[in-house]
Amino acid sequence: MSGPPAAGRKQVHLAAQLPGIHNVTVWSDPRARSQIAFDSFLHLAQTAERGRFDFFFLAEGLRLREHKGQLYDLDVVGRPDNLTQLSALAAVTTRLGLAATVNATFNEPYEVARRLATLDHLSAGRTAWNVVTSSDAFTGENFRRGGFLAEADRYARAAEFLATARELWDSWADGDVRADAVAGAYLRPGAGRFAHRGRHFDISGRFTTPRPPQGHPVIIQAGDSDTGREFAAAEADVVFSKYNRLDQARSFYRDVKGRLARHGRTPDRLKILPTATVVVADSDAEAAAYADEITRAQVSPQTAIAHLEAVWGRDLSGYDPDGPLPDIDPDPDSLTLKGHSLFRRGRAETARRWRALAERRGLSIRELVIEISGGQTFVGAPRTVADAIDHFVQTGGADGFVLVPHLTPTGLDDFVARVVPLLQEEGVFRPDYTSRTLRDHLGLPHDRGEDTADPAAEEEAS
Amino acid sequence: MTASPLHLAVALDGAGWHPAAWRAEDARPGALFTAQYWADLVTEAEHGMLDFVTFEDALGIQSAAFHRPDDRTDQVRGSLDAVLLAARMAPLTTHIGLVPTANVTHTEPFHVATGIATLDHASKGRAGWRPQIAARAADATHFGRRTTPQLTDDDVRDPERIGRRLRPLFDEATDVVEVARRLWDSWEDDAEIRDAATGRFIDRGKVHHIDFAGAHFGVRGPSIIPRPPQGQPLVTSLAHAMVPYEFATRSCDVVYVTPHDRAGAAAIVAQVDEAAGRSGRDMRAWPLLRFAELLVFLDAEPRAATHRKTHLDSLDGAELTSDAEVFTGTPGELADLLLDWREAGLDGFRIRPGTLPHDLVQITRGLVPELQRRGAFRTAYDATTLRGHLCLARPNSRYSQERQTRK
């Protein structure tokens, strides 16, 4: 059924993110299952693998959000440790890439490099690291490091953190494990020796973990500021983007791809993947109705008020979610929602904009929040969705997408069963995996050090 | 006098516990960093119905010396993160407990607690943890944030002296375990309510800040992951002297000790009891299981194990030395020893196979059937959780107890 890759057509890359945290997940749906039970993760990951996705991605949150001084209780809460969970998932998948968000602020390079190298060994080369940083003292209260980083220092530390991790991965060459029982030589002398002296890290010694199968795990980045885009252009293999409207996406795509040459890299060295949602049904009309239903479930009356309170910095519980926006102004000094990256700045301006929009369109509080939440990215019958994804990629909006389903664990089922085959027929998506490592799925070179591989050491490496 | 069944664990480490084990006939030294190697071992251990396997680990490279790195290249060097390794095994097994070592000196307590809780969820209640202090000063340079005591050759000859020198690290380890246990309790079991009528996913009255403030760090909490299936995953530690016995009695559910005969086992049990008495621990409410360690070479043929060990000694260029008693013999002889030592007050044994997979297979297919014949070991798993295998109750969250008391 599946055609060969169509000449001159870009191949679409697809990844999936576990839905959870914040109001994307419709936990009230009767089909919704545990966000923690391993079986939920297994179902989603195996569905993504059945769909020949490049990778499965887990976001991170190291402190539960608090709203008006209490734990935020309206959305899904609770998630596992990413690398531990992905290691378990490596046992029930064979080709799917496994991407972990790991914070570079509340960790140390030695340990993160070691855990990522371990996952790459245990998954035979399927690991990715989404490098994030934090300037959040609220989250810092859970850590020895405590405190936080000044905004300006975040990327500097992240860049040095990443450089240090690469030094650690490179401290073993591919052939350093000789395992020559006859000669009695287990490893090459000096394997793992490292010394890094920099502004943020001054470390030395012996790294414990042989070079990962991919050389270096795939590096993912998601920053959108000028500094963030530059960091991605210099360092990342994959960039996550929030721009899933075609015009904005093209502008982001052109900008970031245009920065690569400055760092001596070709445009195909970096894959740009916007986050997207998909609602698919038998017909376009049914899909539109279902999308509306999902969006209303995502923004309950209580969620709508809480969303507004996060911007206003005030208790708005007396307001009717189906009524107009409050005419009082935000409290510029009060931060009601903690542990959330949104709404840290410009809240007065945001409030003015929202009020104007609501008045112009006659929207209630809840309708406004639904409106600004952005709705669903791709909505329609399978053919409509497949064509829209293809068009988006072929016209310079993206290299592919990170799909965030609204249901755990069955939210990818329809897409994989009904849309993926159409993309395959079009010749823009792989009919089957042709490679084993994530770098290969993404068409990225392996970061291999000096290749001194000894065939004996490769036994069972795959 | 002894009616309770014996508990058996196996300590997995590299190619086995003999430094030359990787050169043994059936060793797979080129595969130590693959998942398949470990999967074969763990499924074999589960086939033998063992209570649990442990995974050794450290944040520094292995060394023939206890207190400092060496530059040897003729022994296995290199390791994988044990928590991730244990998690990789979870979906491949259904009953056996998985107990990784994880460092408590240089790591973030919050991350370790979350990792072990995740392992418990992924394994559906089979997680344990061996919190380990970083006893080597050299490991501290891997982090560059603090220094730890450099032990001398004289220290290394005397476990009591090591314990005293490292006491601050054991005190800090006590805090780390306390933080982990509070984080595991911080979500009450029924905190997730999914109440569509009120729009609430959790009952926030049942999710608690832990507000731990110790001498070395503070953690606000709550955990980011709901309470693990076992409530409290099993906490275990290896101890050779009074300071670590005290750590075990303050913090652990199982202590591994290293007697060299039945009398030695009785003496250690008395010391552990003394430490427990000083800490005020109520052993009936919160039992501390005592497992003795043995490093074993096993063959059905008498003397074959001794020959094997002697051959490995010659390959390594030195006779094997260990903190644990080294046993060579038949599975039947080992069964005799285990049943004899048990009388000193031991609950079980953690056996270190001299070579892998050989000595593991001798345990699962030789020792276990022998013990079963004598009515001293299970013939089928009758529980699905690690606590269940060890006949330990599932604790209530301390926070739900507090709330009930306040009512």
Work out the minimum CA distance from A349 to partner chain B, whole angstroms: 29
- Could you report the per-residue pLDDT of A346-366, keeping only the tens digit for each? 788 888 999 999 999 999 999
Residue B404 pLDDT more than 70?
A: no
Give the angle B354-B357-B361 at the CA atoms, nearest 5°: 95
Residue A456 pLDDT more than 60?
A: no
CA distance A66 to B188: 18
Which helix H or strand E contains A327, and what residues bound it? none
Q: Based on the domain organization, do A116 and A251 belong to the same domain?
A: yes
Which pLDDT belongs to residue A1? 43
Interchain proximity B203–A191, CB inside 8 Å:
no
Which pLDDT belongs to residue A455? 35
Searching chain B, which residue's CA lies closest to the CA of residue A102?
A: B111
Q: Based on the domain organization, do A328 and A207 belong to the same domain?
A: no
Query: What CATH class does B7-163+228-406 carry?
Result: alpha beta
Residue B130 pLDDT more than 90?
A: yes
Please give the full DSSP string across B188-244, using - where no structure is assigned: -TT-EEEETTTTEEE-GGGB----EE-SS-EE----SSPPPTTSS-EEEEE--SHHH
Q: Based on the domain organization, do A247 and A178 belong to the same domain?
A: yes
**A179 closest CB neighbour out of B29, B85, B222:** B29
Please give the biggest Cα pair distance in chain A.
82
CA distance A156 to A138: 21
Domain endpoint, select from A343, A373, A403:
A373
Model confidence at A459, in pLDDT bands (50, 70, 90)? very low
Short-list A431, A423, A417, CA closest to A383: A423
B373 burial level (CB within 10 Å; 0-12, 13-18, 19+):
exposed
Q: Please check whether residue A240 is in contact with residue A400, taking contact to mean a CB–CB distance below 8 angstroms.
A: no
- Could you report the per-residue pLDDT of B244-292, keeping only the tens digit for each? 999 999 999 999 999 999 999 999 999 999 999 999 999 999 999 999 9
- Could you report the per-residue pLDDT of A187-199, keeping only the tens digit for each? 999 999 999 999 9
Is A225 a known ligand-binding residue? yes
Searching chain B, which residue's CA lies closest to the CA of residue A27?
A: B194
ipTM: 0.97
Work out the minimum CA distance from B123 to partner chain A, whole angstroms: 8
- Could you report the per-residue pLDDT of A227-283, keeping only the tens digit for each? 999 999 999 999 999 999 999 999 999 999 999 999 999 999 999 999 999 999 999
CATH number at residue A136: 3.20.20.30
- Could you report the per-residue pLDDT of B334-374, keeping only the tens digit for each? 999 999 999 999 999 999 999 999 999 999 999 999 999 99
What mean pLDDT is predicted for residues B313-327?
A: 97
**B141 closest CB neighbour out of A181, A203, A459:** A203
Q: Based on the domain organization, do A107 and A205 belong to the same domain?
A: yes
Give the angle B22-B25-B26 at the CA atoms, nearest 5°: 80
Work out the minimum CA distance from B331 to partner chain A, whole angstroms: 28
What residues in A contact B204, CB-CB < 8 Å? 70-71, 73
Domain endpoint, select from A319, A340, A373:
A373
Which pLDDT belongs to residue A3? 53
Short-list B254, B256, B206, B233, CA closest to B402: B206
A97-101, A308-312, B8-12, B87-91: least confident range: A308-312
**Does residue A434 belong to any structural domain of this protein?**
yes
Short-list A300, A306, A278, CA closest to A291: A278
What residues in A contact B32, CB-CB < 8 Å? 177, 179
**B207 closest CB neighbour out of A71, A87, A123:** A71
Model confidence at A333, in pLDDT bands (50, 70, 90)? confident
A372 at interface of B, judged by CB pairs closer than 8 A: no
**Does residue A5 belong to any structural domain of this protein?**
no
Q: Based on the domain organization, do A390 and A368 belong to the same domain?
A: no
Mean pLDDT of chain B: 96
Q: Based on the domain organization, do A64 and A147 belong to the same domain?
A: yes
Q: Based on the domain organization, do A296 and A150 belong to the same domain?
A: no
**Does residue A1 belong to any structural domain of this protein?**
no
Which pLDDT belongs to residue A24? 80
Interchain proximity B36–A460, CB inside 8 Å:
yes
Searching chain B, which residue's CA lies closest to the CA of residue A456?
A: B30
Stronger pLDDT, A392 or A337, i.e. the higher one: A392
Model confidence at A407, in pLDDT bands (50, 70, 90)? very high
**Does residue A7 belong to any structural domain of this protein?**
no
What residues in B contact A38, CB-CB < 8 Å? 90-91, 121-122, 124
Interchain proximity B90–A76, CB inside 8 Å:
no
- Could you report the per-residue pLDDT of B39-49, keeping only the tens digit for each? 999 999 999 99
Interchain proximity B122–A38, CB inside 8 Å:
yes
Interchain proximity A108–B143, CB inside 8 Å:
yes
Q: Based on the domain organization, do A308 and A436 belong to the same domain?
A: no
**A203 closest CB neighbour out of B85, B92, B143:** B143
Which pLDDT belongs to residue A462? 32
- Could you report the per-residue pLDDT of B229-243, keeping only the tens digit for each? 999 999 999 999 999
**B121 closest CB neighbour out of A80, A110, A201:** A80
- Could you report the per-residue pLDDT of A140-153, keeping only the tens digit for each? 999 987 766 677 78
What residues in B contact A78, CB-CB < 8 Å? 187, 192, 202, 224-226
Domain count along chain A: 2
Q: Which domain holds residue A291?
A: 285-373
Q: Does a cis peptide bond (omega within 30 degrees of 0) precede residue A267?
A: no
What residues in B contact A205, CB-CB < 8 Å? 60, 69, 138-139, 141-142
Q: Based on the domain organization, do A130 and A192 belong to the same domain?
A: yes
DSSP A141: T
Q: Based on the domain organization, do A31 and A50 belong to the same domain?
A: yes
Q: Based on the domain organization, do A293 and A247 belong to the same domain?
A: no
- What is the token pair recorded at A21? 């945290």
- What is the token pair recorded at A442? 């993404």
- Could you report the per-residue pLDDT of B371-395, keeping only the tens digit for each? 999 999 999 999 999 999 999 999 9
Q: Based on the domain organization, do A244 and A313 belong to the same domain?
A: no
